[in-house]
Homo-oligomer: A and B are copies of this chain.
Amino acid sequence: MASITPIGDKILIKRIEAEEVTKGGIVIPDSAKDKPAEGKVIAVGAGRRLPSGEVVDFQVKKNDRVLFSSYAGSEVKIDGNAHLVMSEDEILAVVE
């Protein structure tokens, strides 16, 4: 498998398909609004650079299970699995 390293403040996420989410019984998005989706963090970039020049660490790390809007990120398939590249501020929460 090729290694994909996100740039800067970007994060590579492997999408967790709806069936898996339902099986775990944890997060079922409501139909009325934007449906958040779940995924696992595969890799993070070098960090987010503030306007001051300082680079701040990510608040998510490899293997974190995260919630994000279904509109977030750019999709890529790696070895047949759906992945997304998005910036950290598109991530809503970490599921523990």
**Chain A positions near chain B (C-beta within 8 angstroms):** 2-8, 10, 12, 24, 26-30, 32-36, 45-46, 49-54, 56, 59-60, 66-67, 69, 74-78, 82, 85, 88-89, 91-96
Contacts and interface: CB of A to CB of B under 8 A. Distances in A.
A7 B77 contact: no
A17 to B, nearest CB: 13
Given A3-B96, A34-B75, A36-B85, 10 more contacts: A2-B24, A5-B93, A5-B96, A7-B66, A8-B59, A30-B77, A36-B74, A49-B50, A50-B52, A76-B92
Contacts of A27: 2, 4, 76-78
A59 B92 contact: no
B59 A67 contact: no
B78 A26 contact: yes
